[in-house]
Amino acid sequence: MKKVALLGMPNTGKSTLFNQISGSSAKVGNWPGITVDLYSVKTLLNGHLTELIDLPGIYDLKGYSEDEKVVHTFLANNKIDQVLFIINSTQIDRQLGLALNIIKLGIPVVIIANMMDEAKKFGITFNFDLLESLTGCPVVPISAKYKIGLDQLNKKIHATQKKLNIPKIEISAKNIIKKTVKFPATLNDKTTKKLDSIFLHPYLGLPIFLLIIYGIFQLVFTLSGPLQDSMANMLFYFEQNFLLELFAHSDPILKSFFIDGVYSGVSTVAAFVPVIVLFFFVMTIVEDSGYFSRAAFLMDKLMERIGLDGRGFVMMLMGFGCNVPALSGTKIMRSKEMRYLTMLVIPFSLCSARLQVFLFIVSAFFASHHGALVLFFMYLLSFFSIFITAIVFKNKYKNDEPLILELPPYRFPTIKQILFRGWQEVRFFLKRASKFIVFGVIAVWALTHFPSEHEVASINTYAGQIGQFFEPVFAPIGIDNILIIALFFGFIAKEILIGALAVIFGLEGQALGEHLSQLLTNGQAISFMIFTLIYTPCVASIATLKHESKDFSLALISVGWSLVLAWVMSFIFYQSYKLFI
């Protein structure tokens, strides 16, 4: 079976092309000589069964960064039949040199000129026949985003490999570009420059960024409100008109298990799914627009002071959707130390799972205007926890590598692209959440209902006994026995917290909120939210952190530090609340 490596600089559309070829069949594999995982897919290319390996984006084949070392080691230790080198056509003058260095290694290369749709828009023209002649390898113009030229690419792969005589490249990339590419006198990117003058303004850039992020959340909450109410009403109707009749004559324990346990827990969480769906679709548009690259550049100076950089800031923003893909995304970072420090701070991003918990508690305890302030406080505390963590650990994970970042032109992704990427994120979230939530609510039901001779969730049940054991630790921060049980299962997935409370009290929706508001003070509710925000990442986040870092000690540090910081922050707030309010 032939092995083909996909290589190129960052932000060239390499991942888009790989996804077009692989679909959902890509797998992670280990390769001789390297310790990181690379994605690969087995597929038919020009009639040959081929394994396509997606290598990290690099700027220099002989650079010192981790990604460059990975690529160099991979090519040196693995027999590769061909390299597909992908270039951003609008930046071919800056990227062709790396392609020529790959050709000099003696590996057959196909140069893929991607983003031809944008090159055409900018008025850039190419002589691809001459470019093939001067480089000595096939050159295929495509647009991976719109699937243009993929058939031609498939025909060129392997077809000329045996006949191709790799020349010793003597002509420079600059002279090749001069002979084969014509740029307009002034690149037609007035819109990009105009937008950058606003978004990258030295004084207005940061306030504009904060307003954009606030606008995104406000848009999501506004649009999801009616959908969320409709979902809750539908779930309640299903329970009243179907489930209760179905289990009307069933054994009480069986009825309680399915209705008070599984259905109450899952439906309480499911009511928040519209928020998650809208959030991911909106974030897909923002990510693909090219704005987040500007945000990384804008925040780089501030992040540098705490040991991070602009790319880490973008990963934190991704973490506000879900910490898991944000942790996976740190593979774009070229320094291992920077990647490790970024992995430590990402779990403090207020993810959508925590957001579900906070929205529920805020609506139960506070009027709308006070609730908005409490939620805003939680976002500020999320950033504060990130900064504190970075400052504490920046000397342990020192990094002196400068930020190298391409600023792509602004783009608006196609509807198909938005739907595809958005659905991929939503599917991942639902797949992960469904497994953990069902397991969690069943476990909570069992702990609160057994031994069966005692009152549900009483001090004599298993749940009550666990709560009593840990009460000395949690009492100073205002968290009682029942909330302790919910927090234990929140370690599995934060989505379980509200579902767990629904199971414990046998209530859901508004009734559950009213009951909690009578049971707890506002100070206890906020302390619970603070602890939920900061304490130990969910199981999926820890597993991803361990998988991406290959360092078990980093996972232990993440769990241990977050527990300590959560307790200290909750203690400071709760004791201050009791003292002054």
Q: Which 3-state string (H, E, C) describes 516-565?
A: HHHHCCHHHHHHHHHHHHHCCCCHHHHHHHHHHHCCHHHHHHHHHHHHHH
With a cut of 50, say whether residue 199 has pLDDT above it.
Answer: yes
Average pLDDT over residues 318-335: 75
How far is residue 420's CA from residue 277's CA, in Å, rounded to a whole number? 13
Positions of CATH 3.40.50.300 in the chain: 2-182
What tokens does 361 get? 């508690």
With a cut of 70, say whether residue 482 has pLDDT above it.
Answer: yes
How far is residue 268's CA from residue 495's CA, in Å, rounded to a whole number? 10
Buried b (16+ CB within 10 A) or exposed e, 314-333: bbbbbbbbbbbbbbbbbbbb
pLDDT for the residue 162: 44
pTM of this structure? 0.66
The end-to-end CA distance of the chain, in Å, is: 71
Looking at the DSSP bridge assignments, the partners of residue 113 are: 87, 141
DSSP 8-state code for residue 355? H
Highest mean pLDDT: which of 169-173, 414-418, 447-451? 447-451
Tell me whether the omega of the peptide bond preceding residue 402 falls within 30 degrees of 0, making it cis: no
What tokens does 246 get? 């179905």
Highest mean pLDDT: which of 175-189, 192-206, 363-377, 550-564? 550-564
With a cut of 80, say whether residue 66 has pLDDT above it.
Answer: no
pLDDT for the residue 402: 60
What tokens does 4 get? 């083909």
With a cut of 90, say whether residue 130 has pLDDT above it.
Answer: yes
Lowest mean pLDDT among 126-135, 147-156, 281-290, 463-472: 281-290
Q: Which residue has the tokens 């995104």?
A: 216
With a cut of 50, say whether residue 497 has pLDDT above it.
Answer: yes
With a cut of 60, say whether residue 33 has pLDDT above it.
Answer: no
Buried b (16+ CB within 10 A) or exposed e, 345-382: bbbbbbbbbbbbbbbbbbebbbeeeebeebbeebbebb
Average pLDDT over residues 322-332: 76
DSSP 8-state code for residue 148? B
Q: What is the mean pLDDT of the chain?
A: 81
Average pLDDT over residues 162-170: 48
The percent of residues above 70 in pLDDT, for the chain, comes to 83
Looking at the DSSP bridge assignments, the partners of residue 141 are: 113
Average pLDDT over residues 505-514: 79
Query: CA nearest 72: which of 98, 92, 41?
Result: 98
Q: Helix 336-345 crosses helix 368-393 at what angle (to 10 degrees)?
A: 150
How far is residue 431's CA from residue 418's CA, in Å, rounded to a whole number? 20
What tokens does 434 get? 């469904």
With a cut of 80, say whether residue 155 has pLDDT above it.
Answer: yes
How far is residue 50's CA from residue 83's CA, in Å, rounded to a whole number? 12
Higher pLDDT, 405 or 567: 567
Residue 54 phi/psi, 5-degree rounding, is -90, 110
pLDDT for the residue 163: 44
Contact indicator for 198, 208 with CB cutoff of 8 Å: yes
How far is residue 326's CA from residue 316's CA, in Å, rounded to a whole number? 7
Question: Which CATH fold topology does 2-182 show?
Answer: Rossmann fold (3.40.50)
Helix (H) or strand (E) holding 177: helix 173-180
Average pLDDT over residues 202-224: 77
Average pLDDT over residues 30-41: 64
Long-range contact set of residues 423-430: C-beta below 8 Å, sequence gap at least 24? 425/280, 425/283, 425/284, 425/321, 425/322, 425/325, 426/276, 426/277, 426/280, 426/281, 428/322, 428/324, 428/325, 429/276, 429/280, 429/322, 429/352, 430/273
How far is residue 343's CA from residue 332's CA, in Å, rounded to a whole number? 12
pLDDT band at 387 (very low <50, low <70, confident <90, very high): very high
